[in-house]
Amino acid sequence: MAEYRKGLRADPDDTLNLKDECAQSQKLVEREFIEMRKFVLNIVDLISQRHSKISEDNKIEVDDHTFQLFLGFYQSIRPPRADNISLGFPNNDIFLGFDDYFAKLTGEKQENAKRFLKEAYHITDCDSFFECIRSNQNLNMNGYISDAIAYLNDKPNFDVHKLGDDEKLYFLATAEFVKTFIDYLPNAGVIAWDLSEQIGLSRIAFACDIISKDDYCRNMNVLSDMLKSSLSSFEEYARSFTFGSALLMFRVKSMNITKSTDFMFSIAGYLCSSNLLDTKWIS
């Protein structure tokens, strides 16, 4: 739909009959959002049922280091290869795992991981690592959530009408996307996605000798403490993480609702098949 509207601005006489295409596209988007809301309800139920399968008193207690590795769930099961810069999960390939807090890489595996960090995140040394953590938009999705929620609550953080045409369309589409799961977000938004990704990258950077042991431990503790204080259970973590993954896919895949929904569902499936929801949350 965005491309059709760009075409209309370039061809105000509509010689290509793009107005009809826009109208049809709008109807399709509305149907996709209706289907997405159904998916969201299914995912919320799936996570809730999986989390309640074991009572809180009987959930597994882990030490703080293991807990931090669990918080970095996504990067722990995704190998950092240059040919895996896309967002999908590997089928049977496990990378750092959850057993060794100070895991290191050597040889070809380290070279592949370094190439992954450079090509996917422009990380080549300690300074670029921390700059990425601070400023990479894909690691800081909660800002988009905050802006969308403020707008949906009629308390916008900025004047939407002052945005350019494309930027305005992008923002309004993002807000509409967030609206499908806003009622199920923890108060902390999608912080689990953001900080989980940052924890995972911290592990990879340390494994490749890009950051020191002191920097690694310090950063892991800071990120873990932020998650502990922002969320109260792995159920909240799972919802925050899953909806964050959906928003990321929506933004990087040109607002493709179907791809975002599919990715969100796969993420929820991986979470629910892991041990995270059987684990006791550390406050």
* pLDDT tier at 24, thresholds 50, 70, 90: low
pLDDT at 239: 97
Residue range 189-201, pLDDT digits in tens: 999 999 999 999 9
Residue range 172-186, pLDDT digits in tens: 999 999 999 999 999
Among 3-12, 33-42, 240-249, which stretch is predicted with the lowest mean pLDDT? 3-12
Model-level pTM?
A: 0.84
8 Å CB contact between 38 and 181: no
Mean pLDDT of 205-226: 97
Pick the more confident residue, 80 or 99: 99
- How far, in Å, CA of 62 to CA of 230, rounded? 19
Long-range CB contacts for residues 51-58, cutoff 8 Å, separation at least 24: 51/233, 51/234, 51/235, 51/238, 51/277, 53/277, 53/278, 54/278, 56/280
How many C-beta atoms surround the C-beta of residue 106 within 10 A? Answer: 10
Mean pLDDT of 32-49: 93
pLDDT at 77: 59
Closest CA to 18 of 34, 31, 2: 2
Closest CA to 78 of 94, 101, 66: 94
Residue range 228-257, pLDDT digits in tens: 999 999 999 999 999 999 999 998 888 889
* pLDDT tier at 21, thresholds 50, 70, 90: low
- How far, in Å, CA of 74 to CA of 201, rounded? 10
Most confident residue range from 218-232, 250-264, 268-282: 218-232
